[in-house]
Amino acid sequence: MSTVQPVMSLEGVSKSFGSVTAVDDLSLTLEEGEFFALLGPSGCGKTTLLRVLAGFEMPDRGSVRLDGADITSLRANRRPVNLMFQSYALFPHMTVRSNVRYGLEMEKLPAPEIDRRVGEVLERTQLEEMANRKPDQLSGGQRQRVALARALVKRPRVLLLDEPLAALDKKLREEMQLELKRLQHDVGITFVVVTHDQGEALVMADRVALMKDGCIEQLGAPRDLYEHPQTRFVADFIGTTNLFEGRVAVGGVQLDGHGLLKADNEAETPVGEPAVIVVRPERITLHVKARPKTANAVKGTIADIAYHGQDLNVHVAVSGAGRHVQVRISTAQETSATYRIGQSVWCAWNPEHGRMLTR
Amino acid sequence: MGRGLLNVHLRLVYVFLYAPIAVLMVLSLNRGGMPTAWTGVSFHWYVRLVESPEIVSAALNTLIVATVSTVIATALGTLLALGVERRRTSSAMDALLFAPMIIPDIVLAIALLSFFTLLDFTLGLHSIILSHVVFNIAFVCAVVRTRLKHFDYSIIEASTDLGAGDFTTFRRITLPVIFPGVLAGALLAFTLSVDEFIIAFFTAGAGSSSTTLPMRIYSMIRFGVTPEINAMATIVMAVSFTLVFFSQRLNKGSIAGE
C-alpha cells in the first residue's frame, strides 16, 4: 500500500453526450510528480476525461478529488489545474509576455512577483527574445512553448496537455518529446498528456492508460503495455504485433495446420476456448533449413521484404493466418541480406516471448 | 481583348453610378446657384446652411438619433451575434435575423407606426431611435457574425482555465478580439441611421421638433432643388462615404488579421 496521497483522483466517473457514453464508470489516481499519458484512438473518451479533470465538463456520476478534497463541482477557473490546449488557444491580441502574465494577473498577485515569475518561465522556455511579439509572428514550435509557459507560470498542481505535439512536424515532435519530459522532471509538476500517438506515450510517460470505449483497457508502465498486453486491443494498438488465432489446448494454443504452439495459460482459460498468441516482430527469428527444436514455429513463404536502413521488415505469408506475419531483423545480422521473396521459411520464437490472450 | 472590353465596362459603370453625384457636388460650389450657368467657385451655400436654424436643429436631431440608436443597436446586436453563433440555430431563425435588412423600408415604417399607435406610444425622436434600433440590430449582428466565423472559441476556455470569471473573459479577451467587427458594425449602423428617411418620416409624429435632416431636405425640395440642398447632400454623402470606407477597411483587416 502506498502511503503517498494521490494528487488527483477520479472515482466512478461517467459522462455522456446524448446517447453517446464518452467516459464509462472510470476510476483513476494520479501520483505526485508523475508523467501520465492518456492514450487511445479518437473517440475513446480521452479528451472528455481531460476536460473533466480540467473542470470544463461536469461528470454525470462519480467524483473528482484534488489533494483529498472533492472538487467535482468546482469550475475550471477555480481549480489549481491548468490545460494546454491542442490549438494552443493563445490570445491573438496580446504579446507573448501579456499572454503569460494573464493567469497571474487573475490571481491578483503583486506586480513585482508577477514580473519575476513571468521572467523565470520565459527564460525556461527560451522565449525572452520573443516576449514582445504577437502570436501570429511566431512559428508553430514557438507558439507551443508560449502555451506551455502560460500554463506553467501558474504552478498548477496538475498540468493537462491535450495532444501537445500534434501540430508540430515530425522532427520537432521527437525533440519536444524529450524536452517535455525533461521540463516535467525539472518543475516536478504532475503532467497528464492526452495523445493518440502510442510512440509519444511510450517515450514520455511514466505510466500510460490505454483507453477504449470510455474505459481504461490497461494501465501500466510503457514496458508493461508493450511486453505484457492483457488484451488483443492493447497488443494491437501499442506497436506492431503478430496475432496467431487458435483454440486453447493443454500447454498452449492449437493452431489449424501448424500444431501446438506453446504458451503460458495465465488466465487458466478452459481447453477449447478461442485464444490468440501475440508475438512482437522483433522476437521472431527466421530459419531457412530446418524447424528449430525448442521453439514455437510456423512455416510460411516470404511475401515481401521492406528495407528500413537499420532493420528489415520481412512479411511472411502463413496458411490460415489472416495477416502476413511480420518479422523484424536487424540489418547488422549477416543473414539479413540473404532472404528472397518466395523463399520458404520457419518463423520461430521462444515460448516465453509469446502471450496467450483470450480477450 | 475580353479584358479590354471588361475594363471599358467597369469605367462606364462607375461613371453611371457617380456622374449624378459629381454634378451635384460641383453645383454645390456654384456661386450663382443656377444649374444652367457657372459663375465661379464659392462656399457661400455651405455658409447659408449653417446659418439656418431649421437645418442646424434637423442636423442635431439626426446626430442624436444616429448616435443613440447606434450605441443601443451595437450593444444588442453584438450580444445577439455572440449568442446566435454559439448555439447552432435553424435556417428559419437565421432568416428572421436577416429579415429587417431586406424588408422594404416602407413596410417596416408602416408596421412600426401601426405598432406604436396600437400601444398608444407618443411619437418623437425616441420613437425614431427605437425604429432605427430595429433594423440596425440586424446589420450589426450580421457584421459581427462574419467576424465570429473566424473566432477561436478555445481562447474563451483558455481564459477561464487561467482563472478568469465570465465578465473578465468578455472584457479582456472576447471583446478586444471581435472589436474591429463591432466597430465596423457600429459605423455601418450610424451611416444607415444618418441617411434613413422613410422610417423616420413615418415614426416622427406631428410637429417639427423631431424633424431629421433627410426629412428637412425632403420638405425643402417641394419648393425646388435649391443650392443649399446640393451643399447639404454633399456633406451627408461625404460623411456616409467616409464611414462606409472605414467600416469596410476594418472588416477586411479583421479577417486578414486572423
**ipTM score:** 0.82
The answer to whether the CB atoms of B162 and A93 lie below 8 A apart is no
Range name among A181-190, A350-359, B63-72, B154-163 with the lowest pLDDT average: A350-359
Predicted confidence (pLDDT) at residue A3 exceeds the cutoff of 80? no
Contact B155 A102 (CB under 8 A): no
Give A232-291 pLDDT, tens digit per residue.
899 889 888 888 888 888 888 888 878 888 888 777 778 888 888 889 999 998 888 877
Question: Averaged over B11-31, what is the pLDDT?
Answer: 89
The percent of residues above 70 in pLDDT, for chain A, comes to 99
Whether B87 has a pLDDT exceeding 80, the answer reads: no
Give the other-Cβ count within 10 Å of A29's Cβ: 15
Non-local (6+) Cβ contacts of A20 within 8 A are none
Lowest model confidence (mean pLDDT) among A119-123, A300-304, B163-167, B250-254: B250-254
Per-residue pLDDT band for A222 (boundaries 50, 70, 90) equals: very high
Q: Among A120, A185, A127, which Cα is nearest to A153's?
A: A120
Closest CA to A58 of A30, A19, A28, A22: A22
What are the two backbone dihedrals, phi and then psi, of residue A15, each rounded to the nearest 5 degrees? -150, 125
Top CATH class of A8-227 equals: alpha beta
When pLDDT is cut at 50, 70 and 90, the band that residue A356 belongs to is confident
Residue A154's pLDDT is 93
Is residue A59 scored above 60 in pLDDT?
A: yes
Q: Which of these ranges, A193-197, B88-92, B132-136, has the smallest mean pLDDT? A: B88-92
Task: Provide the CA A244 distance to its chain's centre, in angstroms.
Answer: 25
Taking the CA atoms of residue A231, residue A232, residue A233 and residue A237 in that order, the dihedral angle to the nearest 10 degrees is 110
Say what the pLDDT of residue A243 is: 87
Between B163, B172, B177, which is nearest A92 by CB?
B177
A8: confidence class by pLDDT, cuts 50, 70, 90: very high
Once rounded to an integer, what is the mean pLDDT over residues B101-113?
91
The model's confidence at residue B1, banded by pLDDT at 50, 70 and 90, is low
Q: What is the least distance, in Å, from the CA of B247 to any CA of chain A?
A: 20
> In Å, what is the CA distance from B226 to each residue of B31, B33, B216, B218?
12, 8, 13, 11
CA–CA separation, B141 and A201 (whole Å): 45
Distance in angstroms between the alpha carbons of the first and the last residue of chain B:
38
What pLDDT shows up at residue A158? 94
Q: Over the stretch B113-150, which tens digit does the pLDDT of each residue have? A: 999 999 988 888 999 999 999 999 999 999 999 889 88
Over residues B168-185, mean pLDDT? 93
Domain residue spans of chain A: 8-227, 241-357
The mean pLDDT value for A99-121 works out to: 94
- Indicate if the alpha-carbon torsion angle B57, B60, B62, B65 is positive or negative: negative
**Closest residue by Cα to residue A160 from A49, A83, A56, A57:** A83
Determine the pLDDT at residue B111.
94
Question: How far, in Å, are A100, A107, A120, A133, A168 from residue A139 at the CA level?
Answer: 17, 29, 21, 11, 10
pLDDT at B251: 67
Q: What is the mean pLDDT of residues B86-93?
A: 78
**Fold observed for domain A241-357:** OB fold (Dihydrolipoamide Acetyltransferase, E2P) (2.40.50)
Using a cut of 0.90, tell me whether the model's pTM lies above it: no
Q: What is the pLDDT of residue A1?
A: 45
Q: Higher confidence at residue B171 or residue A3? A: B171
Q: How far is CA B246 from CA B177, B239, B240, in A?
A: 18, 11, 10
B227 or B19, which is more confident?
B19
| Mean pLDDT along residues B155-167 | 94
* Rounded mean pLDDT, B182-201: 91
Question: Which cell goes with A171?
Answer: 522532427
* Overall average pLDDT of the A22-38 stretch: 92
CB-CB: which of B154, B177, B258 is closest to A85? Answer: B154
> Do A299 and A290 contact (CB within 8 A), yes or no?
no
> Which residues of B lie closer than 8 Å to A, measured between beta carbons?
152, 154-155, 157-165, 168, 172-173, 176-177, 257-258
Query: CA B253 from chain center: how many Å?
Result: 20
> Would you call B257 and A103 a contact, using CB atoms and an 8 Å cutoff?
no
pLDDT score for A264: 80
Name residues whose C-beta falls within 8 Å of residue B110's C-beta, 6 or more positions apart in sequence.
B202
Cell of A96: 507573448
Check the CA dihedral B133-B136-B142-B147 and report its sign.
negative
Over 80: is that where the pLDDT of B198 sits?
yes
Q: Cell triple for residue B46?
A: 455651405
Q: Are residues B160 and A91, on separate chains, in Cβ contact within 8 Å?
A: no
Which pLDDT value is given to residue A209? Answer: 94
